[in-house]
């Protein structure tokens, strides 16, 4: 009764349609385990893929930058699978060893200063208010 | 006996030296509250500033990209001060509204798929191994 | 240049269409601040609303149960806005004071035992393997 | 000098008493590794078991609902042991594949919108205030 | 129908009994808001107080050390109330400004190196295995 | 192109200088994997080691206390490598089984009450204000 990784050969037509779109969009001929796991709940598979395709698709931020941000969040959340899969995507998008080193340094530094700001309960400078939202009640 | 924000006028010479370097490096004439709080422990003030100056300084990643990564981690960790201060730094480095919108979308999406990968306990595809570290025992 | 809460009167047609669907789906005549903030990035507004409508819509789990789960995650992540908004949704869906008290107790207990299992590095019992995924590589 | 999983045969009378109560309460003839690890600190074993027995015992929330909440927190905290053990408990309490799929979808969605609310620093709507606590200073 | 802070004058006999024990144990004549909030669910109030009294009571670790650990976790979890209440308890137990400065530095450093170890997916050295648990499958 | 653990024999002079200082400072003749991973980005290796040496060096807090705090944060963040390495360091600094048991109990309890304070949105008592920072805007 448990979930299994669902291979293309065993997939329903609606799951296969998502797999096909993943492969066509990424110009590859295989699907990674993440999607094979989500395929146990086809609604989640389809929605997550369509959301990811939109979010990681063309926009103002460079594809490499988006992957670096993805890795940064995944390291902070300790998601080993995501570090591996998005680390690979970042490599493919052009991340070299120097960039990877700097990425890790920034992520670690941010985690450090986040806790200093929280621990010291530092009040936000007036000049920083509104950098994200005007009149936020934060 | 508690900590207070330490203003330049009340600071010791070693704290003033750090404040001076912050202002010179950033070409501004004021110091934000984060540093005024750390000044209660001068060793932490000096070390943290020197680390941040190195990590956020010139390298392979663009200054704007580093600030976007900083905001991404701060949002994931829920550090309101850091979202405000690094959000402002990202604005200064060129983040426009479209970039901010995409940044938030990527951060949120990564937090979502991190939990799907964790919850489904997805095994890492062999092809992704070594994207970050060779032979990692992760 | 910063983001603001976007009111219906100031919204573009595509944003209004989402607001209209939110109000129609929830049978209310107002839109809460979360959506007014997302409206700064219409693509995120539309995608997030459609995803939420699907995820929280009719299924195998009772609407109240889904809201309790939402509050549980929001407490664990320390999202004050989300505790407030989904706490209200849970109240509307039938959560009484006794249920709220039990919800908080379970969430807190889970956070406690999570750290005991992590800290003691407890190996998973064979009998528990496959409860979520078969052959997971954890 | 390190900790080991403490088997019934090697356990002290006070540890055995807790093991006996676990088996009697759950109507099973074995004890899972979590308790065998805690048994290294008998005071923690006894207190944690008695707390868990109370929190997960009969009340206003259905046993299945409590297990779903437990899994939701464990996924958010990335506790692999707890996902396994409480996933198994949820299965035993009646969670079918459709429920598991919806549970994961809700947990992931909550983690996503938590970060959107935090990142956009959305101010809480007046109407949501007091949903959990009256006059909270949150 | 929402929760309120429950004052002694409005409390039931079972809640008063816990309040009395808190005041007697701590040798003070007032109860802090945390307990007045938990009093909305008397079972949780009683269980949490009795657990805390045991965990923070006399043992091998000094009371000040226990409070420092409590603050360290609270900063990492971003619990503003807990930083305030356990910061005050640490002050009462003897934490001076130099100790507070060092505590924050250690907490921040640990948060930084945690992410470096996670990001680089560093495999555990054989010599460190068994430091906590023998034969752990971690 | 990926990162590898960099052994002394393969290290550059600047990396060897850090390795030498680690071994001299700790009076051991080997370097653990954490540093061999960071050596892929020599700047991060040097900065992180120098920071750690300062933070964990002589001060007002006992070396054992600093290691206990390090483990507490690592358990809360679920960093398996760090629990192993700092657990070993704590053992070396004098942590016995009773202390380890109490440490885990305090960490787990703090994680529990952190969520109760967050979930109930408990307002901070006036008397606790200023325990860490005076006039904090928290």
Contact residues, chain F, for A104 at CB < 8 Å:
41, 44
Mutate which: F59, F125, F127, vs E, most E CBs within 10 A: F125
User: A31 and A75 share a domain?
Assistant: no
Asked whether residue D55 carries a pLDDT value surpassing 50, the answer given is yes
Quick one: average pLDDT of C85-110?
Answer: 97
Asked whether residue A138 carries a pLDDT value surpassing 60, the answer given is no
User: A117 and A75 share a domain?
Assistant: yes
Q: Which chains border B (3 or more CB–CB pairs < 8 Å)? A: A, C, D, E, F
Residue A40 lies in a domain: yes
Q: Which residues contact E74 (CB under 8 A, 6 or more apart)?
A: E82, E83, E86, F110, F114
Asked whether residue F46 carries a pLDDT value surpassing 90, the answer given is yes
Mutate which: F88, F108, F120, F122, vs C, most C CBs within 10 A: F108
Q: What integer pLDDT is reported at residue C124 of this predicted model?
A: 96
Asked whether residue B138 carries a pLDDT value surpassing 50, the answer given is no
Distance CA E129, CA F33 (A): 13
Overall domain count for chain B: 2
Contact residues, chain B, for C3 at CB < 8 Å:
97, 100
Quick one: average pLDDT of B97-105?
Answer: 97
Asked whether residue F2 carries a pLDDT value surpassing 90, the answer given is no
Residue F41 lies in a domain: yes
Q: What integer pLDDT is reported at residue C137 of this predicted model?
A: 43
Cα angle vertex A105, ends A90, E131, to 5°? 105
User: B40 and B87 share a domain?
Assistant: no
- Please, are residues E8 and E23 in contact by the beta-carbon 8 Å criterion? no
Asked whether residue C41 carries a pLDDT value surpassing 50, the answer given is yes
Which of D74, D108, B77, F121 has its CA nearest to residue C104? F121
Q: Predicted confidence band at C1 (pLDDT cuts at 50, 70, 90)? A: low
- Cβ distance F108 to C115 less than 8 Å, yes or no, reads yes
pLDDT digits (tens, 9 = 90+) for A53-78: 999 999 999 999 999 999 999 999 99
Given A78, A96, A101, which is nearest F77 (Cβ)? Answer: A78
Q: Predicted confidence band at C138 (pLDDT cuts at 50, 70, 90)? A: very low
User: A19 and A65 share a domain?
Assistant: no
Q: Which residues contact F45 (CB under 8 A, 6 or more apart)?
A: F15, F18, F35, F38, F39
Quick one: average pLDDT of E97-121?
Answer: 98
User: A71 and A25 share a domain?
Assistant: no
Q: Which residue of A has its CA nearest to B101?
A: A60
Residue B102 lies in a domain: yes
Q: Predicted confidence band at A134 (pLDDT cuts at 50, 70, 90)? A: confident
F interface with B, Cβ–Cβ < 8 A, is 2-5, 37, 43, 47, 51, 54-55, 130-135
Distance CA B82, CA A110 (A): 9
Asked whether residue C26 carries a pLDDT value surpassing 50, the answer given is yes
- Cβ distance B51 to F47 less than 8 Å, yes or no, reads yes
Q: What integer pLDDT is reported at residue E1 of this predicted model?
A: 55
Quick one: average pLDDT of F30-51?
Answer: 98
Q: Predicted confidence band at B75 (pLDDT cuts at 50, 70, 90)? A: very high
Quick one: average pLDDT of B8-30?
Answer: 98
Quick one: average pLDDT of A70-94?
Answer: 98
Residue D3 lies in a domain: yes
Residue with tokens 């290691």: F67
Contact residues, chain B, for C40 at CB < 8 Å:
97, 101
User: What is the helix (H) or strand (E) element at residue A99, kind and residue range?
Assistant: helix A97-119
pLDDT digits (tens, 9 = 90+) for C49-61: 999 999 999 999 9
Quick one: average pLDDT of B39-67?
Answer: 98
Residue with tokens 């939402």: C70
Q: What integer pLDDT is reported at residue B135 of this predicted model?
A: 58
Q: What integer pLDDT is reported at residue E136 of this predicted model?
A: 45
Residue A136 lies in a domain: no
User: B76 and B103 share a domain?
Assistant: yes
Q: Predicted confidence band at F112 (pLDDT cuts at 50, 70, 90)? A: very high
Distance CA B115, CA B103 (A): 19
- Please, are residues C81 and D124 in contact by the beta-carbon 8 Å criterion? yes
Distance CA A18, CA A125 (A): 47
User: B72 and B100 share a domain?
Assistant: yes
Q: What integer pLDDT is reported at residue C2 of this predicted model?
A: 77
Q: What integer pLDDT is reported at residue E135 of this predicted model?
A: 59
Q: Predicted confidence band at A136 (pLDDT cuts at 50, 70, 90)? A: very low
pLDDT digits (tens, 9 = 90+) for E10-68: 999 999 999 999 999 999 999 999 999 999 999 999 999 999 999 999 999 999 999 99
Q: What integer pLDDT is reported at residue F131 of this predicted model?
A: 85
Given C101, C119, C121, which is nearest E41 (Cβ)? Answer: C101
pLDDT digits (tens, 9 = 90+) for A2-17: 789 999 999 999 999 9
Which domain covers residue F95, as residue numbers?
A: 58-122
Quick one: average pLDDT of F79-97?
Answer: 97
Residue B19 lies in a domain: yes
- Cβ distance D134 to E37 less than 8 Å, yes or no, reads no
Orientation angle between helical segments D42-56 and D63-76, nearest 10 degrees: 130
Asked whether residue B121 carries a pLDDT value surpassing 60, the answer given is yes
User: C31 and C63 share a domain?
Assistant: no
Q: Predicted confidence band at F136 (pLDDT cuts at 50, 70, 90)? A: very low
Q: What integer pLDDT is reported at residue E125 of this predicted model?
A: 96
Q: What integer pLDDT is reported at residue E130 of this predicted model?
A: 86
Q: Which chains border A (3 or more CB–CB pairs < 8 Å)? A: B, C, D, E, F
Q: Predicted confidence band at E137 (pLDDT cuts at 50, 70, 90)? A: very low
User: A40 and A65 share a domain?
Assistant: no
Chain mean position to CA C132: 21
User: F77 and F102 share a domain?
Assistant: yes
> pLDDT over 90 for what percent of chain B?
91
Q: Which residue of D has its CA nearest to F119?
A: D132
Q: Which residue of E has its CA nearest to D136?
A: E4
Asked whether residue C76 carries a pLDDT value surpassing 70, the answer given is yes
**Closest approach of F77 to chain C, Cα-based (Å):** 9
Mutate which: F6, F12, F41, F77, vs A, most A CBs within 10 A: F41
pLDDT digits (tens, 9 = 90+) for F65-84: 999 999 999 999 999 999 99
> At D73, which CATH number?
1.20.1290.10
User: C1 and C27 share a domain?
Assistant: yes
User: A64 and A118 share a domain?
Assistant: yes
CB atoms within 10 A of CB C131: 26
Q: What integer pLDDT is reported at residue D135 of this predicted model?
A: 58
Quick one: average pLDDT of C67-93?
Answer: 98
Taking CB atoms within 8 Å and a gap of at least 24, the contacts of A53-60 are A53/A21, A53/A25, A54/C43, A54/C47, A55/B102, A55/B105, A55/B106, A55/B109, A55/C47, A56/B106, A56/B109, A59/B98, A59/B102, A60/B96, A60/B98, A60/B99, A60/B102
Q: What integer pLDDT is reported at residue A2 of this predicted model?
A: 77
Residue with tokens 């938030």: B104
Asked whether residue D1 carries a pLDDT value surpassing 60, the answer given is no
Residue A132 lies in a domain: no
Residue B134 lies in a domain: no
Q: What integer pLDDT is reported at residue F10 of this predicted model?
A: 97
């Amino acid at each position: 009764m448990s979930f299994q990784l669902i291979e293309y050969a065993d997939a329903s037509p609606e799951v296969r349609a998502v797999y096909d779109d993943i492969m066509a969009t990424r110009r590859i001929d295989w699907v990674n385990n993440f999607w094979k796991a989500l395929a146990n709940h086809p609604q989640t598979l389809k929605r997550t893929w369509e959301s990811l395709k939109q979010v990681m698709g063309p926009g103002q931020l460079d594809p490499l930058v988006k992957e670096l941000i993805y890795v940064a969040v995944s390291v902070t959340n300790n998601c080993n699978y995501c570090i591996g899969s998005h680390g690979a995507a970042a490599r493919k998008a052009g991340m070299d060893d120097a960039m990877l080193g700097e990425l890790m340094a920034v992520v670690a530094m941010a985690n450090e200063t986040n806790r200093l700001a929280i621990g010291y309960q530092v009040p936000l400078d007036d000049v920083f208010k509104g950098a994200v939202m005007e009149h936020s009640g934060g």
